[in-house]
Amino acid sequence: MRVVVLTGAGMSAESGISTFRDNGGLWEQYNVEDVATPEGWARNPKLVTEFYNIRRRQLLDVKPCLGHELVAKLEEQHDVTVVTQNVDDLHERAGSTHVIHLHGELMKVTSSFSPNDPRYIKTLDAGHLEVAMGECADDGSQLRPFIVWFGEPVPEIERAAAVCSEAEMLIVIGTSLNVYPAAGLTRCVPPGTPVYLIDPKPVQWNSDETVHHIMKGASEGMKELMEKLRVEN
């Protein structure tokens, strides 16, 4: 079965990664406009560079949660593609092999001039987490985070939409479905596709498909869904 898993901040929150809305989290110390927009980068690239250096260091201190691991385990029986709004690498570290990152990847940097040119995208490792001012891509521009900032186009949205259009099951985990164009992917699945929504809070569903809402966190919700799928199989 072709399964698409659409994940948001609620998935990584269980691993200890703070979301925009968390009290006391890293985001409370910065204005989103200063560190997650092209305009912020233009005004103060040093501040933005330091912010993402901090985020990378934090990423090394967290591990995939059970929810990540159970999503990866689905691959044992199904053709699974994860479409994530998260920029961390926790799905990959949990074992998922087909992951589309809509909003970029924290462990990658790229050219300031041509951020989506694959020739300039570089993956950092644990020994080189911090980017310095003056550290350049191969085109001579300052390295910037490989992150899709607010106001920038989402290069992977068409590939994600194509995958969703062939889905035989859609699982949505930990997203408010308020951020577009990612939220619009729920409307791309074929009519009659089984849809499961895992979130402990009410979510305003945004498509005509009937949704089965499991009102639990990512890990407990995936445990319940795995049991359900096992029974149905």
pLDDT tens for 170-206 read 999 998 887 788 889 999 999 999 999 999 988 878 6
103 catalytic residue (yes or no): yes
- Which residue among 103, 128, 212, 213 is the active-site one? 103
Average pLDDT, the chain: 92
pTM of the full structure: 0.92
Residue 52 — φ and ψ, nearest 5°?
A: -75, -25
**CATH number of the domain at 1-16+64-103+154-233, please?**
3.40.50.1220
**What is the amino acid identity at position 82?**
V
**Apex CA 53: angle with CA 98 and CA 46, to 5°?**
125
Strands ordered across the beta sheet of 143-147: 122-123, 104-111, 143-147
The overall longest dimension of the chain from CA atoms, in Å, is 57
* Domain-wise residue ranges, the chain: 1-16+64-103+154-233, 18-61+104-147
Residue 4 pLDDT grade (very low, low, confident, very high; cuts 50, 70, 90): very high
- Cα-Cα-Cα-Cα dihedral sign, residues 45, 87, 154, 118: positive
Q: Taking residues 123-141, report their average pLDDT.
A: 94
Q: Which fold has domain 18-61+104-147?
A: SIR2/SIRT2 'Small Domain' (3.30.1600)
Q: What value does the mean pLDDT take over residues 143-167?
A: 97
> If you ran DSSP here, which 8-state letter would residue 153 be given?
-
Q: Do domains 1-16+64-103+154-233 and 18-61+104-147 have the same CATH topology?
A: no
CA 131, CA 141: separation in Å to the nearest integer?
Answer: 13
Compute the average pLDDT of residues 29-52: 94
Helix (H, G, I), strand (E, B) or coil at 204: coil
Amino acid identity for residue 142 in this structure: Q
Question: What confidence tens digit (pLDDT) does each residue in 199-216 have?
Answer: 998 887 866 768 999 999
- Answer for the pair 143, 112: CB distance below 8 angstroms, yes or no: yes
